[in-house]
Amino acid sequence: MALGLRCFRLVHPAFCNSLAAWTRPVSEVVLKTVNGRQTDHGQYVAYAAIPTRHFATKKAKAKGKGQSQTRVNLNTALVEDIISLEEVEEEMKSVMEALKDNFNKTVNIRTSPGSLDHITVVTADGKLALNQIGEISMKSPQLILVNMASFPECTAAAIKAIRESGMNLNPEVEGTLIRVPIPKVTREHREMLAKLAKQNTNKAKDSLRKVRTNAMNKLKKSKDKTSEDTIRLIEKQISQMADDTVAELDKHLAVKTKELLG
């Protein structure tokens, strides 16, 4: 019995130390004193460390995925000899302003005479705005009149342009006078306007994509005389500007859709 207790005292610390070694780095070798009965020297047991691989949890992965990337903020004056970032930014802003203007004129629950001003009419002299060849007025809250007396030869083209404007308008003609009944505000009409708003936003994104592509093509011409690091930074800046503008377009569309559908 006494011999068994003595062996257990020797084995027990060694067993505990071996378990602890499983979580130690691979380069570490553990050297521990085994407490027990000693005579003329201490007893030591060395344990080789076991390599441990730790895997990221789903929660940690999700947290890393949600982190935003580092933004670039170049001094436009320092790269002006390569490309004018201010001009690129202005072109992108003009796309945003054009969409806002489009929403104000065409994507409204209540149709007004000003809504027809922007409609482009294809004539023998080229493309002209409807308000340049016709006199637009409000006859009543339910009817808009377009007088084509000054350009009677463009009446048919004006009717076609109004009908294809995407505003759900069905014009009627009496000589050189075009009558445009204003559609009733129904749920279907609201949904049609929301669909039109999304189409116009997609067109704006196409225009924005062209601005970005043109800027990138211009930047490529400077690769021979500019370092690769500088080119990459400018490319990232341009892409960042485009992404910011897309976010603004989507935000404006969301506001307009909520306004239309309630």
Which contacts qualify for 190-196: CB closer than 8 Å, 24 or more apart? Answer: 190/109, 190/260, 190/261, 190/262, 191/261, 192/168, 193/107, 193/108, 193/109, 193/168, 193/260, 194/256, 194/257, 194/260, 194/261, 196/106, 196/107, 196/166, 196/167
Q: What is the pLDDT of residue 4?
A: 52
Q: How many CA atoms lie within 13 A of 3 on its CB side?
A: 0
Q: What is the pLDDT of residue 46?
A: 44
The range of the structural domain enclosing residue 138 comes to: 116-181
Domain count, the chain: 2
Q: What is the pLDDT of residue 69?
A: 66
- Cα(252)–Cα(81) distance, integer angstroms: 34
Indicate the residue among 181, 213, 233 that finishes a domain: 181
Q: What is the pLDDT of residue 70?
A: 82
Same domain, 168 and 230: no
- Cα(252)–Cα(258) distance, integer angstroms: 10
Alpha helices in the chain (DSSP H): 2-21, 58-65, 85-106, 130-133, 155-163, 187-220, 228-261
- Cα(51)–Cα(81) distance, integer angstroms: 54
Tell me whether residue 42 is in a domain: no
Same domain, 148 and 165: yes
Tell me whether residue 20 is in a domain: no
Q: What is the pLDDT of residue 114?
A: 75
126: left (phi over 0), alpha (psi -120 to 50) or beta: left
Same domain, 254 and 124: no
The segments of the chain whose pLDDT lies below 50 read: 5, 8, 19, 21-56, 60, 64, 66
Select from 168, 170, 163 the least CA-distant residue to 196. Answer: 168
Select from 252, 251, 244 the least CA-distant residue to 73. Answer: 244
